[in-house]
Structure 1
Amino acid sequence: MRDLALAPPSAAPLTGGLADSLFARADESPDLPVLAHRAGPDSATWQEITAAEFRDEVVRLAKGLIASGISPGARVAIMARTRHEWTLLCHALWTVGAEVVPIYPTSSRDQVEWILRDTGCVAVLVEDEQSVMTVGSVCAALPRLRHVWQLDGGALEQLAARGEFIPPATVDSMRRIVLPDATAVIAYTSGTSGRAMGCALSHRGLAFICDTLLAGWGHTAAPAGEQGAVLAFLPFSHVYGLMIQSLCIRGGLLMGHEPDLGGESLSSALRTFRPTYLYAVPSLLEKIYKNFLRTAQQQGRGALFERAAGTARDFAAAVERQRLGRGGGPGFDLRLQHALYERTVYRRLRAALGGRVLRATSGGSPLNRGLSLFYEGIGVYVHDGYGLTETSGGVTMQPLGREKSGTVGQALPGTGIRVADDGEILVRGPSVFQGYVGDRAATRAVLRGGWLATGDLGRLDTEGYLTITGRKKDIIITSSGKSVAPAALEHRLRTHPLVHQAVVVGDDRPCVGALITLDPEFLGDWRAALSLPGDAPAREAREENALREEIARAVAAANSSVSRAESIRVFRVLPEPFDVTNGLLTPSMKLRRDEIVRRYALEIDAMYQSRTRPGRTPAAEESAGWDDSDNVFR
């Protein structure tokens, strides 16, 4: 078992609750803009809220909460998209010592009922009439639920009006009795392989992550002398989004809110808000890259973009070798090529992100090394970090000036990381959760002698950089006993423009297989570019053959990173994507692998059976091996 020694903490310890930083900021810099939201759904104008205005609105809402009977320790759910009202109510709840229970607005009726009942929520704030109906349909099973407030129905204004008679001193006294170790949030796990569990996170744990990041990396959020600006579009219902929210408030960054993750809405928000720092997830960074490529192809510049992207990766890899002391940096020809593409390509790509983004952080799952090098090469270094719900968000970060793409960096100061003999990552530190709500047995199972068993697999190199290799529960064991971690193969498959999603399968099968869904936007452009001759049936047949060959090339490229025994030998393209609405993705957009395998059991069986050779036993089949021709596309 390897143990990375604890680094000394770099942030001052918390003395109160998370809301205190808001009040301190309003006293110190009352006119500093801290929140922003669009004037309308498609507006290019952003309305800013100063620190003093934010504090005053929080106080008004806190008074309304007190008048509604919300007391310290009461649990209140918020079921809404990433809107500035989310941030206002969240801090009002923390001001009165209540516990925030985030719920994804896309959650099903059963998921909503489970979370509200499991936590014993006394109130829930929803966004629209549809959510009111969802909550209303389960109210009979929730005897503790007393209030259902609707944002689009004027809930915040009504709350403020209800509490007008409460003196401000009452709010102030309630805020001052909130202790650092009090529970701030009950955040639910993604529930990829079972019922989601509520993680109790303290004010201290959330503040520790934010303050540590601000102390060590806060100066990178904007050029010297400028206020950093962060566009919040990831859901606050996830611990990563909550961490971003708290980090912005505690760090005095301007936080814009964008509730719509649709391509055009998000693109418009980036161009008009113009963030200086970007927080994202790998799937979004993959999508942005594919959009760059698709736009270039539509303009007849696809080959130019691919050459520029290759140069960006080569340049970033050379710079990385230099900063790690393993090489002399980019040569003259590479620097010349990079300078040329900077003028013709890279600055235009940065302009699509608003033109001011200097650095970014990727979280939620590991970022592909090639993608990380691409963004660094165009002038936006992406820190790949690691964390989970049970650790209040972050656990690692890339050390400044010693960044290593393909890893998630080193342990944050004050945090300890071990890798057990079986490869499982263990974590300890102030950010580790208080336990699972109402489930002591599950809490004891993951907290072992002060260390949290994360369920993730990884390895530490000699310099303390952590690489994530997968999840213990996702490991595939073929019928020949070969263990395969699917994540790396899936990540490489998704780098192909046509591939939208990929799920690697193969438990108790003679080889590894994959279920693949296609990117509908890129598929349309790809089909249009084929321009195949002949009548309709002939064109369709040629198109299917061309598509089969293209996906086979994507599979071959993914296989180049693993051994033959770990490579994908069969695959099938599915007619529809995995989605939250069909129950195959969690609300946090993670694959529900068990459900996918169950739903597509017949397709998986057919995928393997179509390659069964007559007259051979399974054992003979395995020993003979599976050729490159063993790809299935039906």
Structure 2
Amino acid sequence: AAALERRRTGRGAGPGVDLRLQHALYERTVYRGLRAALGGRVVRASSGGSPLSRELALFYEGIGIPVHDGYGLTETAGGITMQPLGREKAGTVGKALPGTAVEVADDGEILVSGPSVFQGYVGDEVATRAVLRGGRLATGDLGHLDAEGYLTITGRKKDVILTSGGKSVAPALLEQRLRAHPLVHQAVVVGDDRPCVGALITLDPQFLAHWRAGLALHGDAPGQKAREENALREEVGRAVAAANSAVSRAESIRVFRVLPEPFDVAGGLLTPSLKPRRSAIVERYAFEIDAMYQARSPRRAAADAMARWEESDDVFR
């Protein structure tokens, strides 16, 4: 799928003979069954609500079901962007629809103008002035446009984390990359007024059971449990390292804590649409967050404390 994308966007020659043969083999042995599980007649799909990762978009295209990721808001009466047919670019939400203009402000916020943008919130002039600026709608979403006009969404402006060192970090990409690991069920990135970025992680119980069954550890029970915990921490550490590979060093996760229970709607930690309530999660797990940073906190003089946070790569201490 990645090779096909390079060819249709003019950035490469497409898949070679070996790759086409591999794909033909998987088509006969795997992909047909996957499409059958999705109904057997699906040829295209659309995605919205939150950005679709590049890896997931390429996966579905690879099995024969291109997914067209789009972007829109209630305040724009529907769509703003969509993938152009035959020129799809995975990891983006496509290009602006005809008649719609998309810009990105200096702070990364996506601005939209056009006939579909609403005139304001009924009876709420204050909220209207906050989002309508010179005829452009301030969406509250963060993103960037590439040279061809494809829009990539990177997070929500209100979710941006500001570390004590003054670094602004959009958590959405890190959280998305963490959840790509099969062991990770949920992830919330923290770090406001902290010396570095951290993460609260919950594990997928089904995959955790499968992972534990495959460990095949030997020895006495106490020793086995300790080795299992070490192996689990190393596996989560690999998930963290994979997430960090998508961001700069200053934006990377340096500390993490695995929580014993998942976030849920009943506990007030997820919205009805299953999105994390960040402020509620940070409040609920304030003790765990403090302990996570204290365990990692440097023990040298305050004058060089920040330097040590920036120099160390060991996320396990």
Normalised TM-score (structure 1): 0.48
Deviation readout 1:469-501 (Å, 9 max, x if unpaired): 221111112111111111111111110000111
Question: Cα distance, 1:530 vs. partner?
Answer: 1.7
Question: Cα distance, 1:433 vs. partner?
Answer: 3.6
- For 1:459, what is the secondary structure of its paired residue? strand
Give the aligned partner of residue 61 of structure 2: 376
**Residue 358 of structure 1 contacts residue 381 of structure 1 at CA under 8 Å; is this kept in 2?**
yes
Give the aligned partner of residue 148 of structure 2: 463
- Is 1:599 equivalent to 2:247 in the alignment? no
For residues 61-210 of structure 1, what are the structure 2 equivalents within 5 Å?
A: none
- Distance in 2 (alpha carbons) for counterparts of 1:626 and 1:552: 18
How many percent of aligned residue pairs carry the same amino acid?
78
- Distance in 1 (alpha carbons) for counterparts of 2:280 and 2:76: 26
Q: Which amino acid aligns with 1:372?
A: A
Question: Cα distance, 1:391 vs. partner?
Answer: 2.4
- Is 1:552 equivalent to 2:237 in the alignment? yes
- Distance in 2 (alpha carbons) for counterparts of 1:417 and 1:385: 13
Give the aligned partner of residue 52 of structure 2: 367
- For 1:431, what is the secondary structure of its paired residue? coil
Question: Cα distance, 1:388 vs. partner?
Answer: 2.4
- For 2:240, what is the secondary structure of its paired residue? helix
Q: Which amino acid aligns with 1:351?
A: A
Q: Which amino acid aligns with 2:229?
A: E
- Is 1:479 equivalent to 2:154 in the alignment? no
- Distance in 2 (alpha carbons) for counterparts of 1:571 and 1:517: 11
Question: Cα distance, 1:534 vs. partner?
Answer: 2.5
- For 2:212, what is the secondary structure of its paired residue? helix
Give the aligned partner of residue 510 of structure 1: 195
Give the aligned partner of residue 541 of structure 1: 226
**Residue 92 of structure 2 contacts residue 150 of structure 2 at CA under 8 Å; is this kept in 1?**
yes
**Residue 162 of structure 2 contacts residue 193 of structure 2 at CA under 8 Å; is this kept in 1?**
yes
Q: Which amino acid aligns with 1:620?
A: D
Give the aligned partner of residue 307 of structure 2: 623
Q: Which amino acid aligns with 2:307?
A: S
Give the aligned partner of residue 395 of structure 1: 80
- Is 1:524 equivalent to 2:209 in the alignment? yes
- For 2:297, what is the secondary structure of its paired residue? coil
- For 2:296, what is the secondary structure of its paired residue? coil
- Is 1:493 equivalent to 2:178 in the alignment? yes
Q: Which amino acid aligns with 2:305?
A: E
For residues 33-48 of structure 1, what are the structure 2 equivalents within 5 Å?
A: none
- Distance in 2 (alpha carbons) for counterparts of 1:436 and 1:522: 45
- For 1:533, what is the secondary structure of its paired residue? coil
Question: Cα distance, 1:416 vs. partner?
Answer: 2.1
Question: Cα distance, 1:394 vs. partner?
Answer: 2.2
> Is the alpha carbon distance of 1:430 and 1:520 closer, same or farther for their aligned partners in structure 2, counting shifts above 3 Å?
farther
Give the aligned partner of residue 100 of structure 2: 415
- Distance in 1 (alpha carbons) for counterparts of 2:195 and 2:230: 26
Question: Cα distance, 1:332 vs. partner?
Answer: 0.5
Question: Cα distance, 1:542 vs. partner?
Answer: 1.6
- Distance in 1 (alpha carbons) for counterparts of 2:270 and 2:131: 24
- Is 1:335 equivalent to 2:30 in the alignment? no
Question: Cα distance, 1:356 vs. partner?
Answer: 1.2
> Is the alpha carbon distance of 1:469 and 1:401 closer, same or farther for their aligned partners in structure 2, counting shifts above 3 Å?
same
- Distance in 2 (alpha carbons) for counterparts of 1:528 and 1:626: 37
Number of aligned residues: 316
- Distance in 1 (alpha carbons) for counterparts of 2:239 and 2:93: 25
> Is the alpha carbon distance of 1:338 and 1:440 closer, same or farther for their aligned partners in structure 2, counting shifts above 3 Å?
same
**Residue 373 of structure 1 contacts residue 405 of structure 1 at CA under 8 Å; is this kept in 2?**
yes
- Is 1:325 equivalent to 2:30 in the alignment? no
- Is 1:565 equivalent to 2:250 in the alignment? yes
Question: Cα distance, 1:616 vs. partner?
Answer: 2.8
- For 1:427, what is the secondary structure of its paired residue? strand
> Is the alpha carbon distance of 1:551 and 1:419 closer, same or farther for their aligned partners in structure 2, counting shifts above 3 Å?
same
Question: Cα distance, 1:382 vs. partner?
Answer: 1.1
Question: Cα distance, 1:594 vs. partner?
Answer: 1.4
Deviation readout 1:266-288 (Å, 9 max, x if unpaired): xxxxxxxxxxxxxxxxxxxxxxx
- Distance in 2 (alpha carbons) for counterparts of 1:519 and 1:393: 34
Question: Cα distance, 1:437 vs. partner?
Answer: 4.4
- Distance in 2 (alpha carbons) for counterparts of 1:427 and 1:465: 14
Deviation readout 1:376-396 (Å, 9 max, x if unpaired): 111111111112232233211
> Is the alpha carbon distance of 1:614 and 1:325 closer, same or farther for their aligned partners in structure 2, counting shifts above 3 Å?
closer
Q: Which amino acid aligns with 2:27?
A: E
- Structure with higher RCO (Cα < 8 A, 6+ apart): 1
**Residue 100 of structure 2 contacts residue 113 of structure 2 at CA under 8 Å; is this kept in 1?**
yes
- Is 1:444 equivalent to 2:141 in the alignment? no
- Distance in 1 (alpha carbons) for counterparts of 2:257 and 2:91: 28
- For 1:395, what is the secondary structure of its paired residue? strand
Gaps of at least 5 residues in structure 2 are none
- Distance in 2 (alpha carbons) for counterparts of 1:500 and 1:432: 36
Give the aligned partner of residue 299 of structure 2: 614
Give the aligned partner of residue 347 of structure 1: 32
- Distance in 2 (alpha carbons) for counterparts of 1:607 and 1:403: 42
- Distance in 1 (alpha carbons) for counterparts of 2:138 and 2:183: 36
**Residue 569 of structure 1 contacts residue 626 of structure 1 at CA under 8 Å; is this kept in 2?**
no
**Residue 237 of structure 2 contacts residue 315 of structure 2 at CA under 8 Å; is this kept in 1?**
no
RMSD after superposition: 1.6
Give the aligned partner of residue 356 of structure 1: 41
**Residue 411 of structure 1 contacts residue 417 of structure 1 at CA under 8 Å; is this kept in 2?**
yes
Give the aligned partner of residue 90 of structure 2: 405
- Distance in 1 (alpha carbons) for counterparts of 2:240 and 2:219: 29
**Residue 570 of structure 1 contacts residue 630 of structure 1 at CA under 8 Å; is this kept in 2?**
yes
Question: Cα distance, 1:626 vs. partner?
Answer: 4.9
> Is the alpha carbon distance of 1:535 and 1:437 closer, same or farther for their aligned partners in structure 2, counting shifts above 3 Å?
farther
